[in-house]
Amino acid sequence: MIIPKTAEEIELMRESALIVSKTLGMLAAEVKPGVTSLHLDKLAEEFIRDHDAIPGFLGLYDFPNTLCMSPNAQVVHGIPNDTPYEEGDIISIDCGAIKNGFYGDHAYTFPVGEIAPEVEQLLKVTKESLYVGIAQFKKGNRTGDVGYAIQQHCEQHGYGVVRELVGHGLGRTMHEDPEMPNYGRRGRGKKFVEGMTVAIEPMINLGTHRIEQLKDGWTILTRDRKPSAHFEHNVALVDGKPELLSTFGYIYQALGIESDEETPFRAAALVL
C-alpha cells in the first residue's frame, strides 16, 4: 500500500534527506587514496548524530554499520572495512538517516583519484539514468515508466541493469510500497499518487547484470567482477511533478563541480 505524505510530512522528509546529503558532501572531501571505509563510516556516524539524527542503516535488518560502502565490483550493501582505497578505485557510498521519525536514504559513487575512462563513463551514464528516471516520476505514470526509462538509457550503452535490487517507497520505514525497479515496461506497475515519496536508485553494471552475494550475507557484487555504479535520490510527487528531497549539491560544493542537473527537479526554496 502506497502511503502518501502530507505537505508537513514531506518537509520533515526533506530534512532527513538533506542530513544525508550533507553527510555525503562531508565524505566527498575525504575520499582519496589511503583512506578506509571504516574511517569514513565513523565520520559519517558522528556527523549524523551531531545533526540530531540517527544513522538509518545501523542495526536495520542487523546491518553492522552506518554506511554501505561498495567498492569497484561491489554493487551495494558492502560492509565497511580497513582496506585503504587506491587510485583508480570507485566507491559507492549509500547512507541513511532518521530524524523526526522519517528516513532519508541516498547514495553516490565516488571516483578515487583518476579512474579509467570506461569507468568514468559508467558513472556518468548511471547518474544520467537517475534523472531520466526521475523525470518519469509524474502524475499519470507508473513504476514501469520510470524503470523503462532507466533501463533504456543504460542498455543503449551496453550496461547491465541489476534486477534483484530495486528502489522503493520511503517514509517512516526504510522500505515502503511501491518497489521501484530500474527496468520495466511502459504503462505497467503501480500508479503514482500525489504526495508519495520514493527512493529512485539505479544500480548499473559495466558488464553483466548478473550478481551474487558474498557469504557475509550482505555484500552484493557483479558476477563478472566488472565495476558497478549506484546513484540514489529521494523524490516526492508534488503538484503532479517530481521534486527532489535530496541533493548532490553538497558533494559538488566539496569537489568544486558545476552542475545544473538537479535544476528541473529542485524545490524553489532550496538554498545550499
Query: Which grid coordinates are listed for 137?
Result: 516520476
Write down the least CB distance from residue 144 to Mg ion, Å.
Answer: 19
Q: Are 165 and 148 in contact (CB under 8 A)?
A: no
Q: Are 175 and 168 in contact (CB under 8 A)?
A: yes
In whole angstroms, what separates CA 258 from the centre of its chain?
A: 20
* Contact mark string toward Mg ion, 103..142, x via CB under 5 A: --x-x-----------------------------------
The stretch among 48-56, 98-106, 108-116, 240-248 that binds Mg ion (CB under 5 A) is 98-106
Residue 72: name the closest of 224, 185, 195 by CA. 224
Write down the least CB distance from residue 158 to Mg ion, Å.
Answer: 25
Q: Which is nearer to Mg ion, 94 or 145 (CB)?
A: 94
Residue from the set 41, 94, 145, 243 that interacts with Mg ion by CB under 5 A:
94
Peptide bond into 202 cis (omega under 30): no
The stretch among 13-21, 122-130, 191-199, 244-252 that binds Mg ion (CB under 5 A) is 191-199
In whole angstroms, what separates CA 19 from the centre of its chain?
A: 14
Is residue 9 a contact point for Mg ion (CB under 5 A)? no
Q: Which is nearer to Mg ion, 167 or 249 (CB)?
A: 167
Q: Which is nearer to Mg ion, 70 or 151 (CB)?
A: 70
Q: How many residues bind Mg ion (CB under 5 A)?
A: 5
Residue 132: name the closest of 204, 190, 197, 69 by CA. 204
Query: Which grid coordinates are listed for 200?
Result: 529512485
Write down the least CB distance from residue 104 to Mg ion, Å.
Answer: 9
Give the span between the Cα atoms of 111 and 86, in whole angstroms.
10
**What residues between 199 and 258 interact with Mg ion by CB under 5 A?**
199, 232
The stretch among 77-85, 89-97, 177-185, 256-264 that binds Mg ion (CB under 5 A) is 89-97
Q: 77: which residues sit within 8 A by CB, 6+ positions away? A: 63, 68, 70, 94, 218, 219, 220
Q: Which is nearer to Mg ion, 9 or 105 (CB)?
A: 105
Write down the least CB distance from residue 179 to Mg ion, Å.
Answer: 11
Query: Which grid coordinates are listed for 57?
Result: 542503516
- Which residues contact Mg ion (rule: CB under 5 A)? 94, 105, 107, 199, 232
